Structure 1
Amino acid sequence: MKKSSHKMRIPVLSALTAAVLFAASVPMAQAQPASTDEQVQSASLGLPDFTGVVAKTEDGVVNIRTTEAVQVRSPAMGPGGDPYDMFRWFFGPDFMPPGMAPQQRPRGGGNEGQQPQERTVPRGVGSGFIISADGYILTNNHVVADSNGIFVTLSNGKEYPAKIIGTDERTDVALIKIEAKDLKPMVIGDSKQLKKGQWVLAIGSPFGLESTVTSGIVSAINRETGDYLPFIQTDVAVNPGNSGGPLINLNGEVVGVNSQIISRSGGFMGISLAIPIDEAMNVVEQLKSDGKVTRGRIGVQITPVADDVATALGLKDSKGALVSSVEEGGPAAKAGIQSGDVILKFNGRNIEQMTDLPRIVGGTKPGQSSTLEVWRKGKLQTIKIDVEEMPSSSPNAASKDEKDSPAASSADAFGLKVTAVPAADLKRLGVESAVQVTEATAPASEAGLQPGDLILRVNDKDVGTPDQYAKMVASLDKSKAAALLVLRAGQSQWVLITPSK
């Protein structure tokens, strides 16, 4: 696998005392032994019975073993060969026994000049599950990656060679196929309906032990660990070999693909992560039709919206994705997206947190016209954008040419001295207007500003010239923190600074 509260006791004692007194005031009844069925029902009260779920789903889970090719040199020694070639096969070609000089090594025999040979060896064991009666199987990419042979064993013991239909490293999903008919596919559920505390099962081959069933509950949903995967976190015992196996709800439906464990020892430590089945099946459909996954992009780099920044920008909460930089010539730049914009919706879907945006955009078909809702300068704006596929690098911040720049201003209430930015630099950076920091002292230096930074906005007002910037700073309320949009090394972010009085 990839790797007490205090309770009031007086009322309780009073209730117990009352119960004892009541019991003493009535005749003692003769205790009757409970029937076996009643004992079983009482013992299982409140606990689920997994036997029906296992019987319904077990035949859909498969064991996957893989092989790989390795380069080896035969240790066999021919007539007149070097008797120490066996050691060199294990310890490397430079091995020499104690006391022997290199020139004493026998020549002309053994492995001299022998080319390495390729040998197929076992690589690993994983799990998977059947998604169609004609042999399509879903598993993890890391189960089958770098293998030269894949073998699938069904629950009835039959083994089939498998071929890879397609893999997606980013989501760790792989689609493979065996030549078999009338298989029993598993029922695909809806991972969006999962809730914390819900019982779930895992079936797989931990450490090669086929068809092993473990159970637990959903510990968390939408656990963010990557750009495109909001994992399902569970406390189901998952170990190496469970990779690619199904996570199953009590209706016998697959709600996730077991993919990772969080562990310091390499074994289960109470936290396992599964790919939501909705996300996995979206990938599978593309792999089945095209053999690869195509994702959309809009060409922005983003950061979370901090609470204090949201307050300074006039937002009700810290939802959304803050644009830190816009790729030159990319879809966002063509649509008019600017650094400092907060993207709140994409195609009508709310961006609750920063990581929602790349996932939603990634699932959008390239070439599709989409709609962005952004917060800019205290107002909501709707922007049309054409989603593209091919990535390109973002520009780096340009260094300032001192001799072409006018004299810097005097230090202001932020402890900053600024100067104008040459028009050529503004054009290269894709910035309409800004001033550049030439000197930074407290409080700006304490907030992280430094010479070379570009200031684009002050409290959602564009900064044009040093004179305009000076007037903005002079008019600020000295009792409140101001938000400065700062560009550095091609990345922009909001920085809060309280002006000195």
Structure 2
Amino acid sequence: MRRKEAAMSSSLWVVMTVMAQFMPADGFTQSTIAKAYAEWAPAIALVQYSSEITDPGSGETTKRDSSALGLVVTPGGLVMAPGHMQLENAEPFNVAITVGHSGSEQKFEAEVLKKPDDINICFLRIQSDTPLNLPCATFARNMRMAIGEPVLLIGLYSENLDYARGIYTCRIGGILEKPRTTYCIDSSLRFGFVGGPVINAQGRLVGVVGFDLTPAEGGDLYVRSGHPLVYQADLFRKYIESPPDKTAEGGPGGEDAWLGIFTQPLYDDFAEYWNLPKEGGIVVSSVMAGSPAEQAGLQSGDVIVSINSIEVHPRLDREVVGFTKLVREIGVGKTVPLRVLRGGKPLDLEITLAARPKSARDAGEYKDEVFGLTVRELTTDVRILLNLGEDVKGVIIRRVKSGSIANLAGMRPGVIIMELGRNPIASLDDFKKAVAKLAEEKPKEISAFCRAGAETGFFRLEPRWDAIKR
């Protein structure tokens, strides 16, 4: 009897082992996974790029080199990438895309296209002197998914693993119907899979996976932020069929419309102090000289409650971004109604939006070989970022050479030089002339009157003229 039970147990183990080899893994068989991988993994690309991030506290600009998953969506080289590539004040440059893997790689330069306003995805176009015929992703139409439905994701592993293509499976864990149908997956998302293709159990490509805009990017205007979502293909198909324009110099979306004001939200305690309804708004802290806001008659202390007949209700800092985005999207040259509260009473104005002035990315720059400084002109976006009025003149330090005279004096990136050796500095040209003059005079000590944050003071420079090579 024991031998018979043992034989039956052994047979059962063999049957269970064989069955496990063919049992679907979270709704997918091994052959289904292999087929989907072979069909769609060749469309996965590696996107590498640089960006400059400005610290609003110090004004220091830091260059970052980053990478992301790219998905080739046309044979001619249109590529989709995650939306975090394009942020406010962080436009990507030096963009390169590598297609192929394991010895068949091809690397191309790429241009960044205008970022769509309604979905957190970027579009890039590969640059090639010859026509391309790349493997690409083709999305199914009108696909809906159900709660609990299994999906397969394809993405990139880290640089340590040579950006190898990889997979994992998960399920649709939730469905949000408003303000647009959105599918949530039931597990965390590895960074290298953000923007990767989503495949259903029938092997059909139904969308890509990603995150909606964070609050810092205006996420309050869209759906939920911070949870991995499936963007079904119908949300972005129009951009594949009719790609966005090339991004113009100066930021995502080409010429940005601009008011020319420093702002903050109408906090509830401000509203209570001013006897205003606690409904939010945009408080005008100051108005920039010569700006559209000044020409329209806006004043410090005004509270903007609507623009272009659209009400605005920011009560928190992060919600001000939504107002900025709204202004930008109205368009340059448009004249629109503006309603403000002045002294608690409504006042209707008209404002003609102008193009945002030159940004830090396009700013003139000068590398000084005498003191070891690389400086930039003060542009409007830097003034806004550092809350500098037009009365503050000077150049901003971008880099300080290690071991240089400026470095030994304690100067650092983000410091604004307003006077150098009793020579007033209001522009790059002033700075160049001051450096040339001091190099000719060769004083033993030089004072630099500067601004760092909200404080002003002097740096003491002690050049060793005999050791300086020019």
With the length of structure 1 as denominator, give the TM-score of the two structures: 0.41
With the length of structure 2 as denominator, give the TM-score of the two structures: 0.43
Larger Rg: 1
